[in-house]
């Protein structure tokens, strides 16, 4: 096994569906995480969540027995803050859940009636009303940039399937005639930020979402490994993305990683 | 001037923005309509309205002094009925305004909890809630076809710009991964139905919407004439569609038509 201080690669792990599903840790996930930290130059947990703050994500992981630090967890909200700061946006309209606001506290929220430089689009759930969408649309038509936390099509709620952020972004993009920027997975910037955080040019991404996790990583030039847990579906494999590798679960990934990088460092 | 019984072409007119704007008839529109009836084999008024029933459209035209019959007015709701009947859809979920329901009365509305063959999407205005959209989305994922009355990007309400049917359709199409069918303008079927109603293969379309009216007609193989009234904007001309001709208003169209078909019949 390669000692961490000699490793030339990092490991990026999606969280929900890879380390746990709901309140149940994946069997062998705790041991796998420990092992991956020893094998690699660093592990970052990269999530597309729009319903939990980074603090909530870390707390939930700890409740399930995963020892993680805040610095190891990267969320699209943090990326949205960097994006807006880099572009010098002074006033931002936020369509995000209450829980996410603490992660966006560095941004100045729009005063009522003022013109926004950007519309940050997260998941408002039942807060997505025609009035809210029309308000965001008018900001876009007045020149604001659409900054979507992610661009997923839908997700499975307790009461059934529900439109996800990508669907509402699609409505606003179609109406305004302009594409927005996506700061979460599968955006290349998100993967680059995670690697720059580890300080290396190479990392292996592991996820249960064949498009956002695996496809996104591969488009950014990284190996993408799909797990057969979480939202994995056999029929999704016939789609546009061919993963670098597929494993039954995160428990099988350390062995695969050891074989991939055998003798390479 | 060509007598109507010898004319080899029909005339298709958009209504709002071409014959009137709001409650004000366009200057010279009454005389133009009379003249066009004499010049052509038949006039049909083709609207993309999703907020008024056919009866309301006819009444409003009559209030403004236009003598029109119900048979001369074609709406996307009528097209939706034909489309659903042709496909043998037995149960339809309707996301349309109350006013439009009389034009869809021939269709059987979904019973609560049942599975729909089609989702007919019109303008629900502030009735577009996350709950309504998620309900429609689940029907699409269970196999229903999305039948959009039109696919406009946005419209100008009294209180400002608002997302139009096309934007909500885009959200549902992105999430479901399947394109719906559009029965109103710019769909070719809509223009073909209007011509088949007149009984001719050729008609000239006049509208104020460069994409839905002019672009749609031209894609269906018809000349498309743009008027500089209604929603006409100079900057829209730089876009994808180059109209067959542009006139200041419908008042100038009979002369143009006479020149186009001079000696052709």
User: ipTM, 2 decimals?
Assistant: 0.87
Q: Would the CA dihedral through A54, A56, A61, A67 be positive or negative?
A: positive
Question: According to the model, what pLDDT value does residue A238 have?
Answer: 64
Q: A20 or A159, which is more confident?
A: A20
- Is residue B19 within 8 A of residue B33, CB to CB? The reply is yes
Q: Which residues of A have a CB under 8 Å from any CB of B?
A: 124-131, 133-134, 137-138, 141, 153-154, 160-164, 166-168, 170-177
Q: A108 or B205, which is more confident?
A: B205
Helix, strand, or coil (residue B245): strand
- For residue A176, list chain B residues with Cβ-Cβ distance below 8 A: 153
Close Cβ partners of A128 (under 8 Å, ≥ 6 residues apart): A95, A163, A168, B129, B130, B133
- For residue A179, list chain B residues with Cβ-Cβ distance below 8 A: none
Total Cβ atoms within 10 A of residue A233: 11
Task: Using pLDDT thresholds of 50, 70 and 90, give the confidence band for residue A265.
Answer: very low
d(CA A36, CA A263): 17
d(CA A102, CA A95): 13
Residue spans of the domains in chain B: they are 7-48+185-260, 87-182
d(CA A121, CA A71): 24
- For residue B238, list chain A residues with Cβ-Cβ distance below 8 A: none
pLDDT over 90 for what percent of chain B?
80
Instruction: Tell me the CA end-to-end span of chain A in Å, nearest whole number.
Output: 11
Query: What are the pLDDT digits (tens) for A61-97?
Result: 999 999 999 999 999 999 999 999 999 998 999 999 9
Helix, strand, or coil (residue B248): coil
Contact B160 A128 (CB under 8 A): no
Report in angstroms the alpha-carbon separations of B186 from A62, B58, B211, B214, B247.
Answer: 55, 22, 7, 8, 20
Helix, strand, or coil (residue B119): strand
Beta-ladder partners of B21? B24
Rounded to the nearest integer, the mean pLDDT of chain A is 92
Helix (H) or strand (E) segment spanning residue A133: helix A130-141
- Read off the pTM: 0.87
Phi-psi sector, B264: left (phi>0), alpha (psi -120 to 50), beta: alpha
Which among A140, A143, A174 is the top mutation candidate for probing chain B, defined by the most B β-carbons within 10 Å of its own β-carbon?
A174
Which among B123, B171, B236, B238 is the top mutation candidate for probing chain A, defined by the most A β-carbons within 10 Å of its own β-carbon?
B171
CATH number for the B7-48+185-260 domain, one of 3.40.50.1000, 3.40.50.2300, 3.40.50.720, 3.10.450.50?
Answer: 3.40.50.1000
d(CA B70, CA B225): 24
Contact A130 B128 (CB under 8 A): yes
Q: What's the whole-number mean pLDDT along residues A190-216?
A: 93
Place of tokens 């936390």: A149
CATH number for the A4-47+185-260 domain, one of 3.40.50.1000, 3.90.650.10, 3.30.420.40, 3.40.640.10?
Answer: 3.40.50.1000
Residue in A30, A33, A27 with CA at minimum distance from that of residue A13:
A33
Query: What are the pLDDT digits (tens) for A158-171?
Result: 888 999 999 999 99
Query: What are the pLDDT digits (tens) for B88-106?
Result: 998 999 999 999 999 999 9
Domains A4-47+185-260 and A77-182 share a fold: yes
Q: Which CATH superfamily is domain A77-182 in?
A: HAD superfamily/HAD-like (3.40.50.1000)
Which residue from A minimizes the CA distance to B141? A161
Rounded to whole angstroms, the maximal C-alpha distance in chain B is 61
Close Cβ partners of A73 (under 8 Å, ≥ 6 residues apart): A15, A44, A45, A47, A54, A57, A58, A61
Q: Which CATH superfamily is domain B87-182 in?
A: HAD superfamily/HAD-like (3.40.50.1000)
Question: According to the model, what pLDDT value does residue A2 have?
Answer: 44
Residue in A87, A195, A65, A78 with CA at minimum distance from that of residue A145:
A87
Query: What are the pLDDT digits (tens) for B185-201?
Result: 999 999 999 999 899 88
- Is residue A149 within 8 A of residue A181, CB to CB? The reply is no
Question: According to the model, what pLDDT value does residue B262 have?
Answer: 74
Question: According to the model, what pLDDT value does residue B263 have?
Answer: 53
Helix, strand, or coil (residue A259): helix
Reading the block at residue B90, the tokens are 């037995």
Contact B170 A171 (CB under 8 A): yes
Reading the block at residue A12, the tokens are 């990026």
């Amino acid at each position: 096994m390669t000692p961490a201080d000699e490793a030339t690669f990092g490991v990026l792990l999606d969280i929900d569906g890879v380390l746990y599903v709901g309140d149940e840790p994946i069997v062998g996930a705790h041991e796998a995480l420990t092992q991956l930290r020893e094998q690699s130059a660093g592990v970052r947990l990269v999530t597309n969540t729009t319903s939990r703050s980074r603090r909530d994500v870390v707390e939930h992981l700890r409740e399930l027995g995963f020892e993680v630090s805040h610095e190891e967890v990267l969320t699209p909200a943090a990326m949205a803050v960097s994006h807006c700061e880099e572009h010098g946006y002074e006033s931002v309209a936020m369509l995000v859940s209450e829980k996410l606001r603490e992660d966006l506290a560095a941004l100045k929220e729009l005063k009522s009636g003022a013109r926004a430089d950007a519309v940050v689009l997260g998941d408002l759930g039942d807060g997505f009303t025609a009035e809210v969408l029309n308000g965001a649309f008018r900001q876009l038509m007045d020149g604001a940039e659409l900054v979507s936390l992610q661009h997923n099509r839908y997700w499975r709620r307790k009461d059934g399937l529900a439109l996800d952020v990508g669907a509402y972004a699609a409505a606003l993009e179609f109406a305004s005639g302009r594409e927005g920027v996506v700061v979460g997975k599968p955006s290349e910037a998100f993967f680059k930020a995670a690697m720059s955080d580890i300080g290396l040019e190479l990392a292996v991404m592991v996820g249960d979402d064949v498009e956002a996790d695996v496809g996104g990583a591969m488009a950014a030039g990284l190996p993408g490994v799909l797990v057969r847990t979480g939202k994995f579906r056999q029929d999704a494999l016939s789609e546009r993305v061919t993963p670098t590798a597929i494993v039954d679960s995160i428990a099988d990934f350390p062995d695969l990683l050891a074989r991939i990088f055998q003798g390479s460092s």
